[in-house]
Amino acid sequence: MRSGVRRLVTVAMIGVVALGLSACGGSEGSPSGTVAGLPITHFQSGMKPNAPTPDLQVRNGSDDAADKLATATIADVESYWTTELPDVFGVKFEPVKSLLSYESNGPNQESGCGNTKKNINAFYCGQDDSILWDRGVLLPNMINQFGQLSVVTVLAHEVGHAVQYRLLDKAGITRGTPTIVKEQQADCFAGTYYRWVVEGHSKYFSVSTSDGLNAALSSLFLVRDVAGVSATDRGAHGTAFDRIFAFQLGFEKGPEQCAGLNLDNIGPRLTERSFDSGDKNQGDIPIDATALGYLQDSLDKAFGGAGVAGPKIVAEGGTCAGGPATAPASYCPSDNTVSVDVTALADLGRPVDQDGEFAGQSRGGHGDFASFAEVASRYALGIQKSVGASTDNANAGLRTACLVGAWAAATSKLGSTKLRLSSGDLDEAISDLLRPDSLVAADVNGKRVDAGFNRVEAMRTGYLQGSSPCSTRYP
Ligand SMILES: [Zn+2]
């Protein structure tokens, strides 16, 4: 988010989040009860205790936990593609020619794609059809911060690139294919592999559709591009928002959909954008009374079309006298206010330190938009209550996330308000949405939907399609 009106938008879009929440037609079943048609499961996700020892040669490999996990992942993902590639595309899957484990903080290893020294990374190298990973810094940090499944996600993505090299024209891949298309396909292929694991086909891993998939989605956040990179830049990987879209597409629809991704069909939904020139590479503003005033104005205008009085945001400590208490922000039905704990919101809203995060240090906060989204979610519950919609069940949580997405998209069209989305904001919202104690997809009592998969889908629906599907999909 950034403040300040430096750009006049001449589109009159006041009241863009027009609600018809009491109308309950057009339901697509019960999206909160399943994850892409699969039951919501709860168990410890990760490597199975009885996982076999993979029969793979790894150059410069070691016995450490990171290498064991990486090797098991490659073996598993390759075994998936060994049956899937012939079945779906009629193409034989040749395993990746070589695997190299290195320490970015140790001696250099020769590779087909340059020096490994100081290269904190994991990647597919097309030059010699190899996959390389840094077991010195990157993998241990990922395991520490995001758990085993972060390594599985990243390496499944890298094998996805190897799959592209085997499919070539069957996936529309040529020398000139933009990086973003290759990245979207690889994320999508990772999603198809995860579905296979979730369905119980893997010898190495078990993944639940709640915390397990949440971890997979959160780790796409770790490897996102730095904010401010435009989707058309060489080397762009996509924002977390865009990447999760591709992953979920693969999970829901399978590998044929992934191979069909190209610039024409992904272009319109890509959210990666450069910072506006006035933003000077920082889109975050401190969360204080002034910022909350801007937020109030933005929400009032965006939800004006609902035709009901919007709640007032008040600094009353984040809980309501007569309940509920969902600090740092609560919707209080008794006086139609959103009570906020400004200090806690300011802490949550500190900028994300992406370099620190990548190197395994503190990640800072979740960014200003995380805090705004928390408050916006409570405000949206007030609007829902006033129009007579339910506020205390799973659909209310998802509908709320959907409305926050619709509001986020609307901020760019509300020319007369001081808040609008800046580069990186959507990723801050995703990062917040996947936190275990996020409010963005929680009902009025703070009860949230277990599956981050569904939370993200709900927010994206609102962001890309506006508020009308919020009430029909989540009645
Ligand atoms: Zn990639």
Q: What is the mean pLDDT of residues 324-349?
A: 94
- Ligand 1 centre from 276 Cα, in Å? 26
154 and 130 together in one domain: yes
SS3 314: strand
What pLDDT is attached to residue 23?
A: 36
- Ligand 1 centre from 184 Cα, in Å? 8
**In the predicted structure, residue 282 carries a pLDDT above the cut 90:** no
Tell me which residue of 196, 200, 249 sits closest to 220, measured CA to CA: 249
Tokens 């949550």: give the residue. 348
Q: How many domains does the chain have?
A: 2
**In the predicted structure, residue 358 carries a pLDDT above the cut 90:** no
Query: Is residue 5 a part of any domain in this protein?
Result: no
Tell me which residue of 187, 185, 193 sits closest to 165, measured CA to CA: 185
**In the predicted structure, residue 275 carries a pLDDT above the cut 50:** no
| pLDDT level of residue 146 (50, 70, 90 thresholds) | confident
What pLDDT is attached to residue 24?
A: 38
- Ligand 1 centre from 122 Cα, in Å? 9
pLDDT tens-digit map of 230-251: 555 555 667 888 899 999 999 9
What is the separation of C-alpha 442 from the centre of its chain, rounded to a whole number of angstroms?
Answer: 17
349 and 452 together in one domain: yes
Query: Is residue 1 a part of any domain in this protein?
Result: no
Helix axes 394-411, 425-433, angle to 10 degrees: 170
- Ligand 1 centre from 121 Cα, in Å? 11
pLDDT tens-digit map of 425-460: 888 888 889 888 899 999 999 999 889 999 999 999
Query: Is residue 131 a part of any domain in this protein?
Result: yes
- Ligand 1 centre from 155 Cα, in Å? 9
263 and 334 together in one domain: no
DSSP 329: E
- Ligand 1 centre from 124 Cα, in Å? 7
Query: Is residue 35 a part of any domain in this protein?
Result: no
Query: Is residue 253 a part of any domain in this protein?
Result: yes
Lowest mean pLDDT among 187-196, 359-368, 444-453: 359-368
What pLDDT is attached to residue 430?
A: 86
Query: Is residue 163 a part of any domain in this protein?
Result: yes
106 touches 84 (CB < 8 A): no
Of 269, 296, 317, the position where a domain reaches its end is 269
**In the predicted structure, residue 286 carries a pLDDT above the cut 90:** no
Of 269, 292, 318, the position where a domain reaches its end is 269
**In the predicted structure, residue 21 carries a pLDDT above the cut 60:** no
65 and 174 together in one domain: yes
- Ligand 1 centre from 236 Cα, in Å? 9
99 and 243 together in one domain: yes
- Ligand 1 centre from 414 Cα, in Å? 35
How many of the other CB atoms lie within 10 Å of CB of 88? 17
**In the predicted structure, residue 226 carries a pLDDT above the cut 80:** no
- Ligand 1 centre from 268 Cα, in Å? 21
| Burial of residue 21 (number of CB atoms within 10 Å: 0-12, 13-18, 19+) | buried
387 and 252 together in one domain: no
- Ligand 1 centre from 123 Cα, in Å? 7
Residues facing residue 331 across a β-bridge: 338
96 and 159 together in one domain: yes
| Burial of residue 117 (number of CB atoms within 10 Å: 0-12, 13-18, 19+) | middle
| pLDDT level of residue 22 (50, 70, 90 thresholds) | very low
Residues 235 and 88: their CA atoms lie apart, in Å, by 29
| pLDDT level of residue 206 (50, 70, 90 thresholds) | very high
- Ligand 1 centre from 231 Cα, in Å? 14
Tell me which residue of 460, 425, 463, 3 sits closest to 227, measured CA to CA: 425
313 and 430 together in one domain: yes
**In the predicted structure, residue 163 carries a pLDDT above the cut 90:** yes
What pLDDT is attached to residue 11?
A: 23
- Ligand 1 centre from 100 Cα, in Å? 17
Query: Is residue 144 a part of any domain in this protein?
Result: yes
127 and 245 together in one domain: yes
pLDDT tens-digit map of 132-142: 999 999 899 88
- Ligand 1 centre from 158 Cα, in Å? 6
- Ligand 1 centre from 157 Cα, in Å? 6
- Ligand 1 centre from 161 Cα, in Å? 7
Q: What is the mean pLDDT of residues 336-363?
A: 80
What pLDDT is attached to residue 10?
A: 20
Tell me phi and psi for residue 99, to 5 degrees: -125, 135
Tokens representing 340 are 């906020």
What pLDDT is attached to residue 440?
A: 95
- Ligand 1 centre from 291 Cα, in Å? 37
- Ligand 1 centre from 162 Cα, in Å? 10
pLDDT tens-digit map of 122-134: 889 988 999 999 9
264 and 343 together in one domain: no
- Ligand 1 centre from 153 Cα, in Å? 11
- Ligand 1 centre from 267 Cα, in Å? 18
Query: Is residue 18 a part of any domain in this protein?
Result: no
What pLDDT is attached to residue 26?
A: 37
How many of the other CB atoms lie within 10 Å of CB of 83? 12
**In the predicted structure, residue 12 carries a pLDDT above the cut 70:** no
365 and 434 together in one domain: yes
Helix ranges, 116-210 (H): 138-146, 148-167, 179-198
- Ligand 1 centre from 179 Cα, in Å? 8
Of 244, 269, 294, the position where a domain reaches its end is 269
- Ligand 1 centre from 133 Cα, in Å? 13
What pLDDT is attached to residue 29?
A: 38
- Ligand 1 centre from 235 Cα, in Å? 9
**In the predicted structure, residue 187 carries a pLDDT above the cut 90:** yes
Q: What is the mean pLDDT of residues 248-271?
A: 90
What pLDDT is attached to residue 230?
A: 52
Tokens representing 129 are 């059809």
Residues facing residue 329 across a β-bridge: 340
What pLDDT is attached to residue 156?
A: 96
| pLDDT level of residue 421 (50, 70, 90 thresholds) | confident
Average pLDDT over the chain, rounded to an integer: 85
What pLDDT is attached to residue 224?
A: 52
- Ligand 1 centre from 401 Cα, in Å? 29
- Ligand 1 centre from 375 Cα, in Å? 34
Tokens representing 273 are 């954008």
Lowest mean pLDDT among 21-30, 91-100, 139-148: 21-30
Share of the chain above pLDDT 90, in %: 62
406 touches 470 (CB < 8 A): yes
How many of the other CB atoms lie within 10 Å of CB of 10? 5
Helix axes 240-253, 179-198, angle to 10 degrees: 50
User: What single-letter amino acid sits at 72?
Assistant: A
Residues 398 and 405: their CA atoms lie apart, in Å, by 11
Domain extent at residue 158: 44-207+229-269
260 and 288 together in one domain: no
